């Protein structure tokens, strides 16, 4: 289909296209404005290995080396901390120590599908699996591009519940890393003490005593240090006004996306209806436009022209 013909078809439909754009934008704006809003609880943390005495370096002769300059994945105890935030154990802890399960049950029963679930007999209380699914959707962990800090955010309609969930998650992940390190140091100390009790070689006993002192020091640091995985840069806080979803941004995106979608749909409809064979046949059957015949204009009648005068012969030649 030629481009001028396509543009002409869109121009003929300009009224209907503008009405469709306005209706779609109004429907999208109503959905955005009527959507439930949520408060965001936020905390900023940094890996303890980079901001304090590295506990992981006390458990091994050499600290763990990073993968490379382009590898931004967390490593060490901080990686275990981030993994524990979305673990099933964390979901069970939240279901038992917070009101998140009751809140999810209330939201489910107040939603549009509550009547259908009640009719099908699928209405039930929220359990740890539901809490884990909610935690996976609503927990965001974002690294900072300017420093080694990480931002942990969680959103919920109840600001007090969002703050409580974030505080419990941070405490659970930190306690898990601390317990794992303390248990590892205790098991190493017990194994070294049993080996020392059986060893009779003086030189080997001295080496074992050095390893024992190292593991005892690691256990002491784990028990005494405030943070072994993630150090709080900014304590968990919740905003006073809800910010999700971002209404101005969504309305601006609708103002850009709706006209493009309507124009593309109208252009696709015109292209689908265009039949080049029928267009050529109609052009061939159409009579050629008649043009008026133009007769050559005649000169106006006047007196006859006189013949030219005779030319005199050149001298020396006979006529």
pLDDT digits (tens, 9 = 90+) for 123-158: 778 888 889 999 999 899 988 888 888 899 999 888
Residue 57 falls inside a structural domain: yes
Q: Does residue 301 belong to any structural domain of this protein?
A: no
Residue 4 has pLDDT above 90, yes or no: no
Stretch 212-225: mean pLDDT: 80
Query: Percent of the chain beyond pLDDT 70?
Result: 78
* Range 5-30 average pLDDT: 89
CATH number at residue 99: 3.30.1890
Residue 9 forms part of a structural domain: no
Does residue 262 contact residue 13 with C-beta atoms inside 8 Å? no
316: pLDDT confidence band, cut at 50, 70 and 90?
low
Residue 224: inside a domain, yes or no? no
Rounded-to-integer distance, Cα 52 and Cα 226, Å = 10
Whether 314 is in a domain gets the answer no
Least confident of 2-6, 12-16, 217-221, 300-304: 300-304
DSSP 8-state symbol, 317 = S
Cα 286 to Cα 5, 48, 104, 289: the distances in Å are 19, 84, 70, 9
Q: What average pLDDT score do residues 14-19 get?
A: 90
What does the pLDDT read at residue 317?
Answer: 56
| Closest among 73, 1, 106 to 114, alpha carbons compared | 106
Determine, yes or no, domain membership for 28.
Answer: no
Instruction: Please give the full DSSP string across 43-109, using - where no structure is assigned.
Output: EEEEEHHHHS--HHHHSSSSPPPPS-SS-----HHHHHHHHHHTSHHHHHHHHHHSSHHHHHHHHHH
The per-residue pLDDT for range 39-81, each reduced to its tens digit, is 999 999 988 876 554 444 444 444 444 444 455 677 778 888 9
- 130 in any annotated domain: yes
Question: Which of 184, 152, 148 is CA-nearest to residue 168?
Answer: 152
Task: Kindly report the number of other CB atoms within 10 A of residue 32's CB atom.
Answer: 17
- Global pTM? 0.69
The yes-or-no verdict on residue 21 having pLDDT over 90 is yes
Chain Cα centroid distance, residue 5: 39
Is residue 12 scored above 60 in pLDDT?
yes
Domain total in the chain: 1
Which structural domain range is residue 245 located in? 37-174+229-252
Measured between alpha carbons, how far is 194 from 191 in angstroms, rounded to an integer? 5
Query: How many whole angstroms from its chain centre is CA 170?
Result: 24
H helix or E strand, kind and range, residue 162: helix 159-198
73 burial (CB, 10 Å; 0-12 / 13-18 / 19+) is: exposed
Q: Is residue 110 one of the residues assigned to a domain?
A: yes
């Amino acid at each position: 289909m030629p481009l001028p013909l396509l543009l002409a078809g869109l121009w003929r439909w300009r009224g209907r296209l503008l009405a469709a754009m306005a209706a779609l934008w109004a429907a999208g704006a109503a959905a955005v404005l009527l959507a439930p809003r949520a408060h965001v609880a936020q905390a900023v943390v940094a890996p303890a290995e980079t901001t304090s005495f590295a506990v992981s370096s006390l458990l091994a002769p050499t600290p763990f080396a990073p993968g490379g300059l382009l590898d931004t994945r967390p490593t060490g105890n901080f990686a275990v901390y981030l993994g524990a935030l979305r673990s099933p154990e964390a979901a069970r802890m939240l279901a038992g120590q917070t009101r998140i399960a009751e809140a999810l049950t209330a939201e489910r029963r107040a939603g549009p599908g509550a009547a259908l679930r009640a009719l099908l007999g699928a209405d039930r209380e929220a359990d740890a699996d539901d809490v884990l699914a909610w935690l996976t959707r609503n927990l965001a962990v974002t690294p900072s591009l300017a420093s080694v800090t990480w931002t942990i955010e969680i959103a919920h309609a109840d600001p007090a519940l969002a703050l409580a969930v974030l505080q419990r998650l941070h405490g659970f992940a930190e306690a898990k890393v601390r317990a794992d390190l303390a248990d590892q140091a205790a098991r190493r100390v017990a194994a070294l003490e049993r080996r020392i009790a059986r060893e009779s070689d003086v030189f080997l006993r001295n080496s074992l005593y050095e390893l024992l002192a190292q593991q005892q020091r690691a256990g002491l640091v784990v028990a005494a240090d405030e943070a072994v995985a993630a150090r709080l840069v900014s304590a968990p806080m919740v905003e006073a006004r809800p910010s999700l979803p971002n209404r101005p941004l969504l309305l601006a995106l609708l103002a850009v996306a709706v006209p493009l979608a309507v124009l593309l749909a109208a252009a696709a409809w015109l292209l689908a209806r265009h039949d080049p064979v029928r267009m050529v046949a109609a052009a061939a059957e159409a009579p050629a436009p008649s043009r008026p015949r133009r007769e050559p204009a005649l000169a106006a009648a006047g007196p006859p022209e006189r013949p030219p005068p005779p030319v005199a012969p050149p001298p020396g030649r006979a006529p």
